[in-house]
Amino acid sequence: MSSQSKTAQQPVSGKNADKVFKGVAYACGILILVVLAAVALFLLFRAWPLIGGDQEANSATISNFTGGKASSFWGYVGPLLFGTVLISALALLISFFVSVGIALFISHYAPKKLATALSYVVDLLAAIPSVIYGLWGGLILVPAIYPFWNWVAKYLGWIPLFAGPAANPSRTVATVAVVLAVMILPIITSMSRDIFMQTPRLQEEAALALGATRWEMVKLAVLPFGKSGVVSASMLGLGRALGETMAVLMILSPGLNYSIKLLQASQNQTIAANIAAQYPEANDLGVSVLIGTGLVLFLITFVVNFIARKLTEKASA
| Domains within the chain, CATH numbers bracketed | 79-315 (1.10.3720.10)
pTM: 0.88
- More confident of the two residues 44 and 55: 44
pLDDT band at 221 (very low <50, low <70, confident <90, very high): confident
| Mean pLDDT in residue range 200-213 | 84
Q: How far apart are CA 65 and CA 268, in angstroms?
A: 15
pLDDT digits (tens, 9 = 90+) for 109-141: 888 889 889 989 998 888 889 999 999 999 999
More confident site: 50 or 30: 30
Question: In this predicted structure, what is the pLDDT of residue 99?
Answer: 93
pLDDT of residue 48: 85
Q: DSSP class of residue 166?
A: P
- In this prediction, residues 78-86 reach a mean pLDDT of 93
Q: What is the mean pLDDT of residues 72-98?
A: 92
- Cβ 180 vs Cβ 244: under 8 Å: yes
Cα separation, 307 vs 240, in Å, equals 15
pLDDT at 317: 60
Provide mean pLDDT across the span 285-305: 88
Q: Determine what percent of the chain is predicted with pLDDT higher than 90.
A: 33
Residue 277's closest CA among 241, 299, 252, 297? 252
Quick one: pLDDT at residue 226? 86
Most confident by average pLDDT, 157-171, 174-188, 199-213, 286-300: 174-188
For residues 289 and 73, what is the distance between their CA atoms, to the nearest angstrom?
8
**What is the spatial distance between Cα 291 and Cα 296, in angstroms, rounded to a whole number?**
9
Cα 74 to chain center, whole Å?
A: 24
- Asked whether the predicted pLDDT for residue 169 surpasses 80, the reply is yes
Q: Is the pLDDT of residue 189 over 90?
A: yes
Nearest to 104 by CA among 117, 94, 115, 90: 115
> Residue 284 — pLDDT band, cuts 50, 70, 90?
confident
- What is the predicted pLDDT for the residue at 1? 47
Helices (H), 157-222: 173-197, 201-209, 214-217
pLDDT surpasses 60 at 276: yes
- The pLDDT assigned to 11 comes to 62
Cα angle 179, 182, 184 (rounded to 5 degrees) comes to: 110
Distance CA 117, CA 121 (A): 6
Report the C-alpha gap between 112 and 87 in whole angstroms.
Answer: 36
> What is the chain's mean pLDDT, rounded?
86
Phi, psi of 78 (to 5 degrees): -60, -55
